[in-house]
Structure 1
Amino acid sequence: MPIAERRLYLHPIRDASRHLVRELGFMGSTLAGTDLPPSAVHALIEIGDRQVDTAAQLCTVLNLEKSSVSRMLNKLIKAGELATQPGERDARERILRLTEQGRQTLAGINSFAERQVLNALDILPAAACADIAAGLQTYAAALRAHRAGEAAPVPETEIVSGYRPGFVARTLEMHMQYYSRTVGFGAFFESTVGTALADLAGRLSHPLNETWSALSGGRIVGSVSIDGESLGDNRAHLRAFIIDDSLRGSGVGRKLLNRAVAFCDERGFRETHLWTFKGLDAARHLYESLGFVLAEEQQGEQWGQPMTEQLFIRPHG
């Protein structure tokens, strides 16, 4: 994503991050209803969940210096929250384990934190809860990846066919999120695309039509459809191809298009058409890699502002 686009999200994310830190109690000297500092609470959680079991691993996970982790662990051991035992492969390595007291402390921490989260989610609609869970996980993973110098993580997705509840609304939302930001489309574009999607949704039960959704955590994060009726003359129309901003460059778009193209081949269409806009170079490269060829360009204002539309055609057989 270009830096100009990233900056659109900069201040909202920073503001939300500060509020999270404050509301969750990280500004205080203790955390989660305990008399422990935040680093110690996080250490107990990671050790208790068996995500880490050595001081070295804890340094990496908590992003703390070795000396800080060493002092914190010594205090937890002295307080009776932690114990150490020799490693199975190397007796010199000290394995960290919670004591019975530590397990009780962790249970209290988890209970406190769960109440905080559930109380907040209780006043939100279910769709917002799903968005928050997916967004926070992706953002946190991206922060970790940048610190470690790794590639950006790709959320787990699955491609499913057929109508799903929310197909029209979610596909339209992803279109508007992208095109309002990159092109400046507004209400006219939203109304036009929404009408077309609603019409297509009513015909998805017909054998020449199909749609595919990319799902992450049960949420639609990508979509593409084939309309095998509207063009006639044994031609298919590839429509409503879009993926969530968080998945651009992840390969999910190619997986969706592969399913759509395979469907057209299986149904024996003579050719497949798709319309797009000039300047969307990443999408054009993807289309051409799958056999689509630019067949026509035309100027138009049917989307609410002057645009150069492009027709790509993929012959079959």
Structure 2
Amino acid sequence: MSIPQPSPYLHPIRDASRHLVRELGFMGNTLAGTDLPPSAVHALIEIGDRHVDTAAELCSVLNLEKSSVSRMLNKLIKAGELATQASPRDAREKILRLTAQGRETLAGINRFADRQVLTALAQLPADASVGIADGLQSYATALRAHRLGETPVSAAPIEIVSGYLPGFTARTLEMHMQYYSRTVGFGAFFEAAVGAALADLAGRLSNPLNQTWSALKGDRIVGSVSIDGETLGGNRAHLRAFIIDDSLRGGGIGRQLLNRAVSFCDENAFDETHLWTFKGLDAARHLYESVGFALAEEQPGTQWGQLMTEQLFIRRPVAPN
């Protein structure tokens, strides 16, 4: 039997998980600015905000043994945070309710937690919240599904759509800058050049030889590629602005976009499709070569604002047998 290869994200995820536990305060005896242990804080949240109202439900939600939950609830009742009442469903069952004191405690917990999250998000780019929320929710759901032997709910599907979309130029430029500023150090020159090229192409999409494709997750653009079929001349197309959101790299979205782009070139019978890139982007090069591009030229250049080994890849349609 083959052994699954570990994900390259394995250790980063483990490291981040440990740091989350520490930074959120779970290593201490109390949590969220209260004198309560983490399990009791979570119990108040589930009872007050999520309407979990029985000890049995808490056992499942909190992933704790019955005896541990029973001891914790007794302490909260004695502390005046919780009260119980007979269940109309089952006389043997007790319904859990927050007291006035418990509601006040919960309000303080929520203020503490909101401030903790908002303070952290304020140090990140404005659009980071979406990726963090999606990633944490998916990861938490998958962990719970594994524990309970359930099938996790699939993430929102990615849809590939063609043509102009509102915000196409801004979002495509944003993804370029997020990736290339971090990995290569490109700055204002690169941003201005890519922004101008995208704006120019957007104004020419009415030409049937030009087209753009966007990968959508919900209503958010998470990938893009374009074909400019008029500026090179000589029945040559120019593949431009290929980019995938950092959170989706390696998931096959790039291949889907490239397949749509090269299919468009074949349908329009272009003799060649050109793309310019630079040496060192090995994952992207593998994708280009997988759809038929081959390295044609390689030389030093500064078209992106700093000296790079620039590369021209060319794809020619395969002649039918």
TM-score with structure 1 length normalisation? Answer: 0.68
How far does residue 75 in structure 1 lie from its aligned partner after superposition? 7.0
Gaps of 5+ in 2: 1-6, 26-30
Rate the CA distance shift 1:2–1:277 in 2: closer, same or farther, 3 A. farther
Question: Post-superposition shift, 1:67?
Answer: 4.5
Q: How does 1:53-92 map to 2 (within 5 A)?
A: 54=57, 57-60=60-63, 64=64, 67-72=67-72, 79-80=83-84
2:179 alignment partner in structure 1: 178
**Map of 2:295 onto structure 1:** 294
2:224–2:243 Cα contact (<8 Å) kept: yes
- Structure 1 residues 183 and 131: alpha-carbon distance in aligned structure 2, compared to 1, 3 A threshold: closer
Alignment partner of 1:221 is 2:222: yes
Assess, with a 3 A threshold, how the Cα gap between structure 1 residues 300 and 133 changes in structure 2: closer, same or farther: closer
* Partner SS, residue 266 of structure 2: helix
Distance 2:226 2:258 in 1: 9
1:40 maps to which residue?
43
1:38 is displaced (CA, Å) by: 2.1
8 A Cα contact 1:58 1:69, kept in partner = no
Which secondary structure state, in structure 2, belongs to the residue aligned with residue 79 of structure 1? Answer: strand
Match of 1:210 in 2: 211
Q: Is the 8 A contact 2:229 2:236 kept in 1?
A: yes
Percent identity between the aligned chains? Answer: 58
CA distance 1:58–1:280, shift in 2 (3 Å) = same
C-alpha displacement of 1:234:
1.9
Shift of the alpha carbon at 1:200?
0.8
Counterpart Cα distance in 2 of 1:258 and 1:224:
10
Alignment deviations for residues 9-53 of structure 1 (CA, whole Å, 9 cap, x no partner) = 98xx97xx659xxxxx923247xxxxx942113433796489xx7
What's 1:261 paired with? 262
Could you tell me which runs of 5 or more consecutive residues in structure 1 were left unpaired when the two chains were aligned.
20-24, 31-35, 87-93
Deviation larger for 180-189 or 256-265: 256-265
Counterparts in 2 of 1:243 and 1:54: CA distance versus 1, 3 Å? same
Q: For residues 209-262 of structure 1, what are the alpha-carbon distances to aligned partners after superposition, in whole Å with 9 as ceiling and x for unaligned?
A: 111112223222211111111112222111001111111112221222222222
- Paired letter, 1:139: L
Question: What do the CA deviations read for 1:97-122 (whole angstroms, capped 9, x no partner)?
Answer: 967x58xx99xx79x969x97xx99x
Shift of 1:146: 7.4
Aligned to 2:312: 311
SS of equivalent to 2:84: coil
Q: 1:47, 1:97 within 8 Å by CA — same for their partners in 2?
A: no
CA drift of 1:178 comes to 1.0
What residue is the counterpart of 1:136 in the other structure?
A: 133
TM-fit CA distance, 1:196: 0.9
8 Å CA contact 1:130–1:219 kept in 2: the answer is no
Once the two structures are TM-superposed, the CA of residue 155 in structure 1 deviates from its matched residue by 5.8
For the 8 Å contact 1:295–1:312, the answer to whether it is kept is yes
- Structure 2 counterpart of 1:22: none
Asked if structure 1 preserves the Cα contact closer than 8 Å seen for 2:40 and 2:72, the reply is: no
Instruction: Name which of 10, 16, 34 aligns with 1:28.
Output: 34
Task: Read off the aligned partner of 1:80 and give its amino acid letter.
Answer: T
* Structure 1 residue matching 2:298: 3-state secondary structure: strand
- Find the structure with the greater CA-based Rg: 2
Distance 1:70 1:206, change over 3 A: farther
- Aligned position for 1:283: 284
CA gap 1:160/1:79 in 2 versus in 1, 3 angstroms:
same
* Pairs aligned (count): 280
- 5 Å-filtered alignment, 1:111-126, equals none
Contact 2:237 2:274 (C-alpha < 8 Å) held by counterparts: yes
Cα deviation, residue 208, structure 1: 1.1
> Following TM superposition, by how much is the alpha carbon of 1:54 offset from its aligned partner in structure 2, in angstroms?
4.4
TM-score w.r.t. structure 2 length?
0.67
**Structure 1 pair 188/146, CA: closer, same or farther in 2 (3 Å)?**
farther
Computed over aligned residues only, the root mean square deviation of the Cα atoms, in angstroms, reads 4.7
1:157 — aligned with what? 158
Alignment match, 1:90: none
SS at match of 2:204: coil
- Please say if residues 29 and 38 of structure 1, whose CA atoms lie closer than 8 Å, have aligned partners that are also in contact: no
Q: Aligned pair in 2 of structure 1 residues 279, 40: CA closer, same or farther (>3 Å)?
A: same
Query: In structure 1, how many angstroms separate the alpha carbons of the residues matched to 2:52 and 2:271?
Result: 56
